[in-house]
Structure 1
């Protein structure tokens, strides 16, 4: 029988391929990091006068507190948000070379956004009281206390809180809340859909929110507040007030000071005034389809179904209330 001249083929061993696989695994073991891997750093900088601090944080919280004079202490923690190539090296680089720049008494933190991509970052910063702060966060919270300021704080979707600030505060957030307590300078606060809670503010206040509520306690000077569909509540009111809402309610408790002017307006919400028995003011109220109810002694000057002109005491202050379809109640 004639045998075929075709040689018998045998499968060659795949050792080179296996070696390549193991080599690649060994090579990448230190390059690809799991989600949640973290590192941290601490750094102390020396300053010799008032500090100017700027912080940018894409995703994570920032906390600024008072520390000893003459130094700024920074503690940062970086955490991976996702699997990333060369993650281990990037974590080591951030630990050994944190994104901090100093020029005299000016300190910048986190300005190199490309290095910080894919990381959640927490900063805890202790500064001298004489510090001006500009802080911005994409999706984290910002908290500051016990420094002079001024403060400029902005968050995309995080909360902002500041207390015991000796100068002006500007705070803005897209969908977070704002809490301000004991601020000596003027305040400007705005939120897209968050609430504003403001207490013991010693200078003029401007507050605005799209669909959140505004609560103000013990305003010492002029207050201007606007909300789209939220409620506004003010307690211990004495100075000038100018507030309005489209579909929310207005509630004011206080005693208008002499020569002060309260201008209160809402489209479809209710207005409630709870005033001191010793309050002295001239009062004008108008509603298109609501009711006007009074439960305090007033000297009525003119009245019909939709309007009321009256006086309490000597009429030292002036209060005007206008609503389209809401009720007006004063007591």
Structure 2
């Protein structure tokens, strides 16, 4: 009784805390040492395998990682629940170890050692062994389900146990078959899943006939069915995710700010008088803000910045609409930092509705060629000029387009140079003009900017709407929430980030960073490095001039280029990767695929799951990590 009393004084709360801290620790505290040690070893083996597989081609082992991840909460559930059951045991002594316990612990230790410090001879085969183990792992689960059918009271049979076991066995067999044959037959589950109900029906029929008249209770096997569905759905979703129709998300746009607060282009229209803003010589920033309405910025034959505004007021009463429109205007702050801020008069039942204000901002044409002029100016002459040579008529283009006065001044300068007199050089202490930049902030409405030279850069923030940028000299940055971005003919670096929307970019002379959470990327003729990423959408790249880093979770990657001018790193977690690249380049290819096939017409070594080889000098690296399949074609004329 003394020992029993000590046993009962053990804290249930401490056992639960230990079980939560480390699966198996609660059993050790309760005296279930063999079970506790096996739980600890199994849990550590699961964690170590996840880390190992993730570090070694994680996308290739995605399905196995998901299954191992599902096991982690199972370990915790068993640890907490069973350790509490062990606290209720009446045994006076700790559970003794047996032969089976020793064998299992030793096997777990060997497996952990292989994962933590694998032998050099085994390293080349570990990826293949990990992939091939998924099918047998699921088949073992099916056998376990069948063995559970033999346990319990004979007077009660659980309906669905054989159907669940058959389903899991089929999934394991298909995965193993696909790995060995390099096929994708597991996709047939998407067509044949109604057979589950047929199998359940046959189970009911067979056991109704077999035990007709007997006092047999037929109950549904909820646990076995849940296990089978989790295993089956996980295998199908991970292997076929790229083909599941989630593309509708690309067009699913929800205004989180509340579209009801924004007036639309209906009701009464008011064209405001054109507002003019003097353009100072030292202007460094042009800022435009519009909470509700389109923003269009263009260059034109004007001497000052001109702002044309159209106001829409959606009210039934014209008198009230007139008052709203009259108080809706663009607030202007001139100077070195010009600010154009659309201020609409709120109206509506609760005074929160904003009128629609569409802005057209026209800037002098000098802004469109300001940077070009500065770049083409010749530096001051610091040494003896070379002797002037006579030019034939029609060859002197320096006087074209100049007035008579300007022509005479230029003639005087050249005469002075001929006499040995140099023009005055600029004062080194003279302050240079600041690099002009432009910022645009739009909440609800499209933005269009075209044909401007902005050496300081163009920065656009848009909450909702289409953003179009073209013909910009200088760096461009676009950050959006919902909508679409189209950028073209950018002479500088471009940085485009979206939360929900597609990105299209073409003819970028600098580097490009394009990222969106939900949407596709279409990139063409990028001169410098490319970094592109999306969570849900495909990536298409044409004519990559330098390095490429493309990453998508759900979607394929297509890259077509006649040159390989840098390292390519392509990763599609659950999609297909297709490359069209030159045969006469200097690069090394290594690619791996999880489910699907590898096809190529380049002289590369392709197996069922990997492709590798070196072209030319192998200067650059082409790394490919796909799930569904990899296709590499030779670049050539379009058939």
**What TM-score do you get using the length of structure 1 for normalisation?**
0.81
Larger proportion of helix: 2
* Structure 2 counterparts to residues 24-173 of structure 1, below 5 A: 36-39=267-270, 40-49=272-281, 50=283, 52-68=285-301, 70-82=303-315, 86-94=320-328, 98-110=329-341, 112=343, 118-128=354-364, 129=367, 131-149=436-454, 150-173=457-480
Structure 1, 37-46 or 138-147: larger mean CA deviation: 37-46
Tell whether the 8 Å contact from 1:59 to 1:137 is kept in structure 2 after alignment.
yes
Counterpart-to-counterpart distance in 1, 2:267 and 2:284: 34
Task: Report the CA distance between 1:103 and its aligned residue.
Answer: 3.1
Counterpart-to-counterpart distance in 1, 2:522 and 2:481: 18
Tell whether the 8 Å contact from 1:228 to 1:246 is kept in structure 2 after alignment.
yes
Tell me the residue number matched to 2:568.
262
Tell me the residue number matched to 2:628.
326
Q: Work out whether 1:184 is the aligned partner of 2:491.
A: yes
Tell whether the 8 Å contact from 2:314 to 2:321 is kept in structure 1 after alignment.
no
Counterpart-to-counterpart distance in 2, 1:89 and 1:211: 42
Counterpart-to-counterpart distance in 2, 1:249 and 1:230: 7
Tell whether the 8 Å contact from 2:345 to 2:354 is kept in structure 1 after alignment.
no
Distance 1:111 1:92, change over 3 A: closer
Tell whether the 8 Å contact from 1:82 to 1:118 is kept in structure 2 after alignment.
no
Task: Report the CA distance between 1:36 and its aligned residue.
Answer: 1.4
Distance 1:118 1:82, change over 3 A: farther
Distance 1:262 1:205, change over 3 A: same
Provide Cα deviations, 1:129-185, integer angstroms capped at 9, x if missing partner. Answer: 155221122220000011122111122120000101011111122221100001112
Tell whether the 8 Å contact from 1:76 to 1:123 is kept in structure 2 after alignment.
yes
Structure 1 unaligned spans of 5+: 1-34
Q: SS of the residue aligned with 1:58?
A: strand
* Structure 2 counterparts to residues 283-298 of structure 1, below 5 A: 283-298=589-604
Tell me the residue number matched to 1:282.
588
Counterpart-to-counterpart distance in 1, 2:558 and 2:632: 10
Q: SS of the residue aligned with 2:500?
A: coil
The number of residues matched between the two structures is: 289
Q: Which has the larger radius of gyration?
A: 2
Q: Work out whether 1:311 is the aligned partner of 2:614.
A: yes
Tell whether the 8 Å contact from 1:175 to 1:191 is kept in structure 2 after alignment.
yes
Task: Report the CA distance between 1:48 and its aligned residue.
Answer: 2.4
Tell me the residue number matched to 2:526.
219
Tell whether the 8 Å contact from 1:81 to 1:118 is kept in structure 2 after alignment.
no
Structure 2 unaligned spans of 5+: 1-265, 348-352, 371-435, 634-639
Task: Report the CA distance between 1:280 and its aligned residue.
Answer: 2.5
Task: Report the CA distance between 1:249 and its aligned residue.
Answer: 0.6
Tell whether the 8 Å contact from 2:499 to 2:518 is kept in structure 1 after alignment.
yes
Counterpart-to-counterpart distance in 2, 1:126 and 1:172: 23
Counterpart-to-counterpart distance in 1, 2:279 and 2:346: 26
Larger proportion of strand: 1
Tell whether the 8 Å contact from 2:598 to 2:607 is kept in structure 1 after alignment.
no
Task: Report the CA distance between 1:288 and its aligned residue.
Answer: 2.1
Task: Report the CA distance between 1:112 and its aligned residue.
Answer: 4.1
Q: SS of the residue aligned with 1:278?
A: coil
Q: Work out whether 1:174 is the aligned partner of 2:499.
A: no
Tell me the residue number matched to 1:30.
none
Q: SS of the residue aligned with 1:38?
A: strand
Provide Cα deviations, 1:4-42, integer angstroms capped at 9, x if missing partner. Answer: xxxxxxxxxxxxxxxxxxxxxxxxxxxxxxx71222221
Task: Report the CA distance between 1:83 and its aligned residue.
Answer: 5.2
Tell whether the 8 Å contact from 1:54 to 1:135 is kept in structure 2 after alignment.
yes
Compute the RMSD of aligned alpha carbons. 2.1
Task: Report the CA distance between 1:111 and its aligned residue.
Answer: 5.4
Tell me the residue number matched to 2:376.
none
Task: Report the CA distance between 1:120 and its aligned residue.
Answer: 0.3
Distance 1:83 1:210, change over 3 A: farther
Counterpart-to-counterpart distance in 2, 1:174 and 1:213: 15
Distance 1:216 1:308, change over 3 A: same
Counterpart-to-counterpart distance in 2, 1:48 and 1:59: 28
